[in-house]
Amino acid sequence: MTTIGFVRHGTTLWNKQGRAQGNSDVPLDAQGIREAEQAAARLCTENWDVIYASDLTRAKQTAEAVARAIGKVELHVDKRIRERDCGRIEGMTEEERTATWGPDWRSLDLGLETRERMVERGMSFLDEVAAKHEGENILIVSHGTFLKQLLTYLIPEIDTQTLLANTSVSCITSGDDGWKLEYLNCTKHLEQIHK
């Protein structure tokens, strides 16, 4: 059985400001670093064989914290698991988008990457990695929108309105009839930070 854990990166300043991060290379803020350390403390108690991370700094920082805590585990970086390309809205808040294009800005073609394209590159990556590490426990550190699209494609019964929390962990396992959801959006490791 192959197990895949999906981790969203820690919090950034742009998360707090409500800015579309997309492919912008925004680092973790102080809270995000603490969250990554808490996730690492949790994940090092579990059995992970290999880690893959997006090449964007916020995901790499999170993955590096986890890799340090686990110890002898390979960390690979792959740009196919980057966040959604946000086109012309990248770096903007909802308020700024509305001021620029009006309240119906979502209906305009502003160059946002489509769900289909995200799933296509995500599945290209996932099929390759799952075949390479068959029977292993694979950890993937990536981004909220990208991971949500990939998970809802793999497990259609997942509520598409689910927002993945920063450093949340979701887990799927392979079976005879495809992928099975073990848990979704788990943040038990953050309970001490947010008390």
Question: Is residue 13 a known part of a binding site?
Answer: yes
Residues annotated as part of the active site: 9, 83
Structure-block tokens of residue 40: 């690492």
Distances (CA, A) of 2 to 11, 36, 135, 194: 29, 24, 4, 32
Question: Is residue 15 a known part of a binding site?
Answer: yes
Q: State the virtual CA torsion across 160, 190, 188, 140 in degrees, nearest 10.
A: 60
Question: Is residue 121 a known part of a binding site?
Answer: no
Please name which of 171, 154, 165 lies closest in space to residue 190, comparing C-alpha atoms.
165
CB 6 within 8 A of CB 125: no
Beta-carbon contacts of 191 under 8 Å, excluding residues fewer than 6 positions away, are none
Question: Is residue 179 a known part of a binding site?
Answer: no
Question: Is residue 58 a known part of a binding site?
Answer: yes
Question: Is residue 14 a known part of a binding site?
Answer: yes
Question: Is residue 47 a known part of a binding site?
Answer: no
Per the DSSP assignment, residues forming a β-bridge with 170 are: 6
Question: Is residue 5 a known part of a binding site?
Answer: no
Q: Which residues are annotated as a binding site?
A: 8-15, 58
* Residue numbering of the annotated binding site for substrate: 8-15, 58
